[in-house]
């Protein structure tokens, strides 16, 4: 079971090069920007949940949307995974 | 009030019945076979919050189910995925993600796009025949 707070996720995404887009309902979409510009990589953050803790299922969904494993996603939020490493990983995987 | 199409409109069956049982539950000792749903859906139109997209050809949407029962919808080429507790929810989420990507990658200045953004933009333009802005009273 992974415990990740919504506010930590949003702060980490902003630190790692993501920018929020126009909200759709209760959801905010964060998109990755690199030095080359705006990418196709985007993830949805839901604000409808009652708890500040993200459920395991949501962590799993966000990981998939970002083309990361769950462990890599947690590293992205808790800091070991830098923006540079994220860009490297997504480039290796053919998403940038 | 604009009559908004829902993803359920794509099915011949009501949403609950559209979850076709491909395998009958069977007792395999201590294990049960899980119920499987459809693996693909087809959309000829996508309706998001603010846009309706008429497509050049029906779009094949892959459907997957995880162990917890969540449904994931995705497309092989377009960077679009949707999630939900039911197929209907996952398809509606797919529609909104489709719109989010369209607004960010197509309805924008293409000079700002990274190579992956540009590739996705071209893929969307190949799929969408017409994007109509909806006027919805909320």
Q: What is the pLDDT of residue B42?
A: 84
Spatial separation of the C-alpha atoms in residues B7 and B115, rounded to whole Å: 31
Closest CA to B108 of A94, A17, A24, A33: A33
List CB contacts (< 8 A) between A37 and chain B: 112-114, 117
Spatial separation of the C-alpha atoms in residues B84 and A46, rounded to whole Å: 12
ipTM: 0.88
Q: What is the pLDDT of residue A1?
A: 66
**Beta carbons of B118 and B110 less than 8 angstroms apart:** yes
Pick among B84, B116, B122, B138 to test the A interface (most A CBs inside 10 A): B116
| Number of separate domains in chain A | 1
Q: What is the pLDDT of residue A40?
A: 96
**pLDDT mean for each 10 residues of chain B (138 residues):** 43 39 38 59 88 92 86 93 92 95 94 94 95 77
Q: What is the pLDDT of residue B129?
A: 94
Distance of CA B78 to the CA centre of its chain: 11
> How many contacts, defined by CB atoms under 8 Å, are there between A and B?
63
**Is residue A90 predicted with pLDDT exceeding 60?**
yes
Closest CA to B133 of B103, B111, B93: B103
What is the domain range of residue A63? Answer: 4-92
Say yes or no for a CB contact (<8 Å) between B70 and A21: no
Pick among A1, A18, A30, A38 to test the B interface (most B CBs inside 10 A): A38
Our CA dihedral for B6, B7, B11, B17, rounded to 10 degrees, sits at: -100
**Chain A: residues touching B (Cβ < 8 Å):** 21-22, 24-25, 27, 29, 31, 33-34, 36-42, 44, 57, 60-61, 64-65, 95-96
**Beta carbons of B42 and B18 less than 8 angstroms apart:** no
List CB contacts (< 8 A) between A41 and chain B: 79, 116
Calculate Rg over the CA atoms of chain B: 17
Distance from CA of B112 to the nearest CA of A (A): 5
Closest CA to B93 of B65, B108, B76, B74: B74
Residue A50, domain CATH? 3.30.920.30
Residues A11-69 have pLDDT tens digits of 999 999 999 998 888 889 999 999 999 999 999 998 766 567 778 888 888 999 999 99
Nearest CA in chain B to A56: B68
Spatial separation of the C-alpha atoms in residues A28 and A20, rounded to whole Å: 7
Distance from CA of A55 to the nearest CA of B (A): 12
Distance from CA of B120 to the nearest CA of A (A): 7
């Amino acid at each position: 079971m992974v415990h990740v707070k919504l506010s930590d996720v949003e702060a980490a995404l902003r630190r790692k090069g993501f920018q929020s887009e126009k909200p759709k309902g209760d959801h905010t979409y964060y998109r990755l920007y690199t030095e080359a510009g705006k990418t196709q990589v985007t993830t949805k953050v839901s604000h409808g949940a009652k708890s500040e803790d993200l459920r395991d299922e949501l962590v799993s969904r966000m990981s998939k949307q970002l083309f990361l494993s769950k462990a890599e996603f947690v590293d992205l939020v808790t800091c070991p995974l830098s923006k540079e490493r994220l860009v490297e990983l997504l480039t290796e995987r053919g998403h940038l | 009030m604009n009559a908004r199409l829902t993803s359920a409109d794509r099915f011949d069956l009501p949403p609950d019945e559209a979850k076709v049982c491909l395998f009958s539950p069977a007792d395999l000792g201590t294990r049960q076979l899980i119920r499987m749903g459809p693996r693909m859906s087809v959309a000829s139109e996508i309706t998001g919050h603010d846009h309706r997209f008429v497509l050049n050809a029906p779009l094949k949407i892959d459907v997957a189910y995880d162990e917890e029962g969540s449904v994931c919808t995705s497309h092989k080429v377009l960077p679009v995925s949707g999630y939900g507790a039911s197929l209907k929810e996952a398809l509606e989420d797919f529609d909104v993600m489709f719109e989010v990507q369209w607004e960010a990658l197509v309805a924008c200045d293409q000079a700002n796009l990274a190579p992956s953004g540009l590739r996705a933009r071209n893929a969307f333009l190949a799929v969408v025949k017409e994007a109509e802005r909806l006027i919805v009273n909320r």
